[in-house]
Amino acid sequence: MASQTSGELLLTVNGEPRRISAGATIADLVENIGLDPRKVAVERNAEIAPRSSLADVSLADGDVLEIVHFVGGG
C-alpha cells in the first residue's frame, strides 16, 4: 500500500473507491455519505459492525465496507 502522506485513507465502500480523512470512524463515513448512522447496517472487512459501536470504530487504510440503508415505508 502507498504511504499515508496526505492524511487520507483509501477505502472500498459498496464496491467503489472512496477517500476519507485519517482517524475517521464508521459513523463519520456514514454521515459523510449523507446517511443516518441509526438507520444503516455496516459490514467492515466481512464482519458486521454493531450499530452501537459505529462511532467508536476507527477506519483503516484498505478497509472494505458494505453499507445498507434502511428505508421505512407503509
Residue 12 contacts residue 64 (beta carbons within 8 Å): yes
Indicate whether 1 belongs to any domain: no
Q: What is the pLDDT of residue 74?
A: 62
Indicate whether 2 belongs to any domain: no
Query: Can you give the CATH number for the domain in which 40 is found?
Result: 3.10.20.30
Residue with cell 472487512: 45
| Residue-level pLDDT, tens digit, the chain, 74 residues | 444 456 999 999 999 999 999 999 999 999 999 999 999 999 999 999 999 999 999 999 999 999 998 877 66
Indicate whether 3 belongs to any domain: no
- State how many domains the chain has: 1
Rounded Cα gap, residues 40 and 22, in angstroms: 22
Residue with cell 502522506: 5
Question: Whole domain around residue 61: which residue ranges?
Answer: 8-69
CB-side neighbour CA atoms (13 Å) of 12: 7
Model's pTM, two decimal places? 0.85
Closest to 62 measured CA to CA, from 7, 5, 9: 9
